[in-house]
Amino acid sequence: MKLSELRPGETGVVTKVTGTGAIHRRLLAMGILPGTVIRVARLSPFGDPIEYEIRGVFISLRRSEAEYVEIDRIVPLHLIPAGEKVRIVILDGGMNFIRNMGSIGISPGKIIEIISPCCPMRVRTELGEYYVGRGEAYRIYVR
């Protein structure tokens, strides 16, 4: 999927940056690297350019430039309904957050089941059933 296909509010993780020459160097210099989480912040009134958020910084790209970036669409855990099984893609936090989530069986590549949604979420991992707070659920991206 291309970055230009995401809608406002949707999130993706960069898988590949194509293109050659100046456009390729420009995208890499802006921080659009494989593995980077990118969110569509908003569209201009006529739909071009598009504002994206990368690592807390807002950048604008024309739709034609966004065509050079391939992504996988991901969703924050808090949007998943009860009964769904999902695969963890990215933990968007510091070392303590990653360590704490790992201790309850939540790490990239693992599959978890949502038992009850929201406030706090109850999830089942391979290690058992645990509660995940709303703030934590916002920083866990799944597919």
Say which CATH number the domain at 41 has.
Answer: 2.30.30.90
Domain hosting residue 37, numbered range: 3-73
48 plus 87 within the same structural domain: no
69 plus 85 within the same structural domain: no
96: Cα within 13 Å, side-chain hemisphere: 1
User: How many domains are contained in the chain?
Assistant: 2
11 three-class SS: strand
99 plus 122 within the same structural domain: yes
38 plus 93 within the same structural domain: no
- 61 vs 32: CA distance, rounded Å: 11
Q: Which of 57, 61, 45 is nearest to 6 (CA)?
A: 61
Cα 140 to Cα 11, 88, 89, 110: the distances in Å are 12, 7, 8, 12
84 plus 54 within the same structural domain: no
Give pLDDT tens digits for 52-105.
999 889 999 999 999 999 999 999 999 999 999 999 999 988 999 999 999 999
48 three-class SS: coil
86 plus 137 within the same structural domain: yes
Q: Which of the pair, 102 or 119, is modelled with greater confidence?
A: 102
How many Cβ atoms from other residues are within 10 Å of residue 21's Cβ?
A: 7
89 plus 62 within the same structural domain: no
61 plus 91 within the same structural domain: no
- 143 vs 73: CA distance, rounded Å: 7
28 plus 46 within the same structural domain: yes
- 138 vs 91: CA distance, rounded Å: 10
The answer to whether 41 and 8 have CB atoms below 8 angstroms apart is yes
Q: pTM of this prediction?
A: 0.78
pLDDT of residue 119: 81
